[in-house]
Chain A
């Protein structure tokens, strides 16, 4: 199984886990880290520690490129070549991850996650509504 970590602002990561538990059930293996109340130094340290916990392979989801969460995660990637960092996390990306984390290697999982996440953003019109 490819492990995962969600690094987001506020309580967004926790809220995603709560929503996922209601939809999918078993969300064990997904860590959550918030930047709330953390200085830049403290956030860097927390991200380093949590990304180290993932081991040799894993996926880190963050909310948006350019934010402090993504910046802190990016700073760790050079030291963790087996980890993949995806920005723009949304519920479909996490659902795809959960459905395929046991069967796909990290690189293939990332491709599928990005495809699913991007395709999920669209305008809905009747009769799809």
Chain B
């Protein structure tokens, strides 16, 4: 399965852009503290409004569910992708919908990773995970390497 990343986690672009395009049966949210965080109830309500089930998981606290056909896996940080590479299930690709770290260079629209995140993403790519940036379903995905310019990410 593909793993999507947006630092805003479940929000409009996911609910009204990606969900109508991919029509998943289930959204699997991977983030620290889920499903116990206060906002999870509103995430579930929002997902129900677009006729999609929601499963929340903190992959550091509990094993992720087994992937199923019709899943849309979404996380808010590169660390969750690294966690999946360590414990499974293995994603085929990491697709970055938005990563908007404050005071960070803008490498593409809605892609402004901090130095720490640039290094984390480069490390994922080095482990063989295809990492791409794609804001909307209709856009062409851009490989991370093209946005990093082929240079190793510098320290902050």
Contacts and interface: CB of A to CB of B under 8 A. Distances in A.
Contacts of B49: 119
B19 to A, nearest CB: 8
Interface in B36-70: 38-39, 41-42, 45, 49
A85 interface: no
Interface in A71-105: 95, 98-100
Contacts of A55: none
Nearest to A23: B12
A98 B13 CA distance: 12
A66 interface: no
B138 interface: yes
Interface residues of B, number: 16
A127 interface: yes
B105 interface: no
Contact of A26 (B13, B41, B136): B136
A24 B16 CA distance: 6
A22 interface: yes
B41 A127 contact: yes
A29 interface: no
A128 interface: yes
Contacts of B135: 25
A24 B38 contact: no
Q: Which of B20, B135, B137 is most buried by chain A, counting CB atoms within 10 A of its CB?
A: B20
B135 to A, nearest CB: 7
A95 B14 CA distance: 12
Contact of B17 (A23, A100, A126, A128): A23
Given A23-B13, A25-B13, A25-B137, 16 more contacts: A23-B16, A24-B16, A25-B135, A25-B138, A25-B139, A26-B136, A26-B138, A95-B16, A98-B20, A99-B16, A99-B20, A100-B20, A126-B38, A127-B42, A128-B41, A128-B45
Which 9 A-B pairs have CB atoms at the shortest separation, nearest pair first?
A25-B136, A99-B20, A127-B41, A23-B12, A95-B16, A128-B42, A24-B17, A26-B138, A23-B13
